[in-house]
Structure 1
Amino acid sequence: MVELREQDPARLIGRMRQLLNDRGFSDNVQKAWLFWARQFIEFHQAQGQTQPTAPDVRAFLGDCARQRQLTAAGRRQVLRAVRCLLEDVLGLQLDGLRELEGELLRDAGPILLSPTQVQELLSTLEGSDWLLASLVYGAGLRLMETVRLRIRDIEPDRILVRDANGRLGRETVLPMRVREPIRAHLEELKLRHIRELAEGYGGVRLPPGLRAAPGTARSWLWQFVFPGPCHVNPLLPDVPPVRDHVPEAEARQTIEAAARDAGLGPGVSAATLRNSFAAHLIQRGVAVADVERLLGIESPGSQRALSPRSGPDPIESPVDTLTAH
């Protein structure tokens, strides 16, 4: 069996870099994983043991957590980097590593990402997928609230959030970072809508129970920001099909796949982005009551009427502080 202490660290890191590059990991993820791999090699060599064990990895994680004050998400990233080194580069299979990762997931509570990790996730996405994930994080939207957005819900500096029946529930910030991309996105959708109208289609599913004037379903303002497939009513085969929003499951899979591509591992979801939105605002000094209001969480302190732009200092979305896409 190959012993870790007998390996040339520079050669091991070179092999790991090539492996990560072949798998399409972003530059930021590669730098982070290679850094932790080097740290583990040095830690193991200082122990004077021939082969690493799961308790050694646990001790290394504890040492990193104490010295660098890592979050739970940060410790999971360290563990994934070490597993890549041991399992994929050296071909070692240590009993207990999967259980250790499970412990980190169970003990972590709500998963939170750092701004850098959010940037890494978003950098793996393009087009409407990037826009959707940026709104979940940048506006604190639930995933279903995001896919359910209609054109009429997008205002110049804010988003109107409605329930399944179309009733207005709250307002939240429209991030500066997404304003130009969403404008371009809506322009493309409008051209497609005009073509569909000319072909006799262009209708969308309306909220249940809505008493709407004839032609409302074909109105531009009622179109979905993230359109999905068209559906035909089997009971009304002569009625043109109507378009629905992108399926929530599809949007969820897109974000979770982006998290994996960014090397963030299992457990990161749309809810993680929303939780991180709240955490990053609070870390910047935004009042908890104001954060709860943006999230749509009812509490005595968040009941007051306040728009994202009110007050002397309008609330800045955390996505606006990230590196430009």
Structure 2
Amino acid sequence: MLSVRQTIRVQHLSLRTEQAYLKWILHFIRFHKNQHPDQMGASEIRTYLNWLADQQQVAASTQNQALAALIFLYRHVIKREIGPIDGIHFVKKPPRAPTVLSREEVKRIIAFLDGDDSLITRLLYGCGLRLLEALQLRIMHLDFDNRSIIVFNAKGSKDRRVPLPDSLQAPLREQIERVRLMHQADLQLGLGAVWLPEAYARKYQSGNRDFKWQFLFPMSRVSEDPVSGKTYRHHLLASTFQRRLADAIRQSGITKRASSHTSRHSYATHLLEMGYDIRTVQELMGHVDVRTTMIYTHVIQASNRLVKSPLDW
């Protein structure tokens, strides 16, 4: 498994991807009674994936992640193309319309949040960010002069710009000052470093202590990086925020199936309702395929076609 880990890190995949791939590869090996992967191939992969689908009844995304891990193993570690794998029982992803909150519902949830949690939620809805995109924002990604936010290395390893809401300019400036005070205190203790992507870490060897690289939403304490073993101040954990957001949703009395990603769905839907064209919304959302954005037009069309019940006549 050491060679798998090393290959993943050479390709600069995320820690979460590393953990997921190692888990699935190890599970695949144990499923086949500890046979070495080099002695297996397409047949064993098909058997394993079909077992996940038929016996374990995993979700489509889970089965796809397991397949991606195994393809990575054979293509990049074992250096062998396994070719087409026929006969896989692919789990069908059930069609599901995205949950969309009304503007009033968004405000009700925010009312039960404070501090970083409130500001993060307003960014998710006000800019259409994914949760990790918001948590991984750094000071230098806020462009107040151009009233925009740079979403750095987003899904698909692409950057994009989104408009910075006027109502968030003052709260974000206040947040930056809080981070500045925290960073100054860290520097006095000989700390103040943050994790940088490897290419940037090589180019800016002391850049991880520059204020501009600090996370906009840092954790309250420093921690040891699991890869390098160095002490950094990391960004707020997604699980911590999600737990507090779930509490706020429950306290608000909203019974829709809502999460942090619901704010992003609501952002896209509300932009289309306001008359913005589909290509603009696609660009702001960072969708590669416009068909992904089109789902929100279906949500609007469905709401416009609501049939009046005879009971209300």
CA RMSD after TM alignment: 2.7
RCO comparison, higher one (Cα < 8 Å, 6+): 1
Displaced runs of 4+ in structure 1, greater than 3 A?
164-168, 233-237, 299-302
Q: Under a length normalisation based on structure 1, what TM-score does the superposition of the two structures give?
A: 0.55
- Could you report, residue by residue, the CA deviation over 1:26-79 in whole angstroms, capped at 9, with x for unpaired residues? xxxxxxxxxxxxxxxxxxxxxxxxxxxxxxxxxxxxxxxxxxxxxxxxxxxxxx
1:227 match: secondary structure: coil
Is the contact between residue 149 and residue 162 of structure 2 (CA under 8 Å) also seen in structure 1? yes
Is the contact between residue 161 and residue 171 of structure 1 (CA under 8 Å) also seen in structure 2? yes
Structure 2 equivalent of residue 220 of structure 1: 211
Q: CA deviation at 1:299?
A: 3.4
User: Which runs of no fewer than 5 residues in structure 1 stay unpaired?
Assistant: 1-105, 303-325
Is 1:120 the counterpart of 2:108? The answer is yes
Structure 1 equivalent of residue 163 of structure 2: 173
Structure 2 equivalent of residue 74 of structure 1: none
Alignment counterpart, residue 142 of structure 1, candidates 130, 136, 139:
130
- Describe the shift of the 1:131–1:213 C-alpha distance in structure 2 as closer, same or farther (beyond 3 A): same
Q: CA deviation at 1:301?
A: 10
Larger Rg: 1
- Describe the shift of the 1:208–1:267 C-alpha distance in structure 2 as closer, same or farther (beyond 3 A): farther
- Describe the shift of the 1:108–1:277 C-alpha distance in structure 2 as closer, same or farther (beyond 3 A): same
Structure 1 equivalent of residue 187 of structure 2: 197
Q: CA deviation at 1:206?
A: 1.0
Is 1:110 the counterpart of 2:101? The answer is no
Structure 2 equivalent of residue 316 of structure 1: none
User: Which runs of no fewer than 5 residues in structure 2 stay unpaired?
Assistant: 1-93, 293-313
Structure 2 equivalent of residue 232 of structure 1: 224
Is the contact between residue 125 and residue 266 of structure 2 (CA under 8 Å) also seen in structure 1? yes
- Describe the shift of the 1:212–1:275 C-alpha distance in structure 2 as closer, same or farther (beyond 3 A): same
Structure 2 equivalent of residue 59 of structure 1: none
- Could you report, residue by residue, the CA deviation over 1:171-193 in whole angstroms, capped at 9, with x for unpaired residues? 00111111101101111110111
Is the contact between residue 99 and residue 256 of structure 2 (CA under 8 Å) also seen in structure 1? no
**Inter-partner Cα distance in structure 1 for 2:139 and 2:163:** 16
Q: CA deviation at 1:168?
A: 5.2
**Inter-partner Cα distance in structure 1 for 2:278 and 2:213:** 33
Q: Percent identity among equivalent residues?
A: 31
Structure 1 equivalent of residue 39 of structure 2: none
> Number of residue pairs matched?
195
- Could you report, residue by residue, the CA deviation over 1:148-190 in whole angstroms, capped at 9, with x for unpaired residues? 1001111111010012799651000111111101101111110
Q: Under a length normalisation based on structure 2, what TM-score does the superposition of the two structures give?
A: 0.57
